[in-house]
Structure 1
Amino acid sequence: MTTSAPPPDRWQRHDWWGVVLDAPDVRELAEFYSQLRGWPIYSIDRNDAALDLGEGVAYLSIQRNDNYIRPTWPAEDRAQQMMLHLDFEVTDLATETERAIRLGARLASYQPQDDVRVLLDPAGHPFCLYAATD
Structure 2
Amino acid sequence: MRSRTSGMWWGTSIEAPDPSGLAKFYADLLGWPIGHEEPGTAIVAPSPQGPFFVFQQADGYRAPVWPPADGDQRPMMHFDFQVGDLDSAVAEAVALGATLAEHQPQKNVRVLFDPAGHPFCLCFDET
The answer, yes or no, to whether TM exceeds 0.5 is yes
2:25 is matched with which residue? 32
Q: How far does residue 53 in structure 1 lie from its aligned partner after superposition?
A: 2.2
Are residue 61 (structure 1) and residue 54 (structure 2) matched? yes
Partner SS state of residue 81, structure 1: coil
Are residue 21 (structure 1) and residue 14 (structure 2) matched? yes
Are residue 106 (structure 1) and residue 93 (structure 2) matched? no
Are residue 118 (structure 1) and residue 118 (structure 2) matched? no
Partner SS state of residue 105, structure 2: coil
The equivalent position to 2:36 in structure 1, one of 43, 48, 65, is 43
**TM-score where L is the length of structure 1:** 0.86
Provide the aligned length of Structure 1 versus Structure 2. 122
**TM-score where L is the length of structure 2:** 0.91
Partner SS state of residue 94, structure 2: helix
Q: How far does residue 47 in structure 1 lie from its aligned partner after superposition?
A: 0.5
Q: How far does residue 55 in structure 1 lie from its aligned partner after superposition?
A: 7.6
Q: Is the 8 A contact 2:23 2:42 kept in 1?
A: yes
Q: How far does residue 56 in structure 1 lie from its aligned partner after superposition?
A: 5.3
The runs of at least 4 aligned residues of structure 1 exceeding 2 Å deviation read 53-57
The equivalent position to 2:87 in structure 1, one of 94, 98, 102, is 94
Identity value in percent: 43
Q: How far does residue 27 in structure 1 lie from its aligned partner after superposition?
A: 1.3
RMSD value, Cα: 1.3
Partner SS state of residue 59, structure 2: coil
**Structure 1, unaligned runs of 5 or more:** 1-12
Q: Is the 8 A contact 2:11 2:53 kept in 1?
A: yes
Distance in 2 between residues matched to 1:114 and 1:46, nearest whole Å:
40
Return 116-125 or 57-66, whichever deviates more: 57-66
Q: How far does residue 96 in structure 1 lie from its aligned partner after superposition?
A: 0.6
**Structure 2, unaligned runs of 5 or more:** 1-5
Distance in 1 between residues matched to 2:47 and 2:89, nearest whole Å:
20
Partner SS state of residue 21, structure 2: helix
Cα offsets for 1:52-82 (capped at 9, x unmatched): 1238531111001111110000000000010
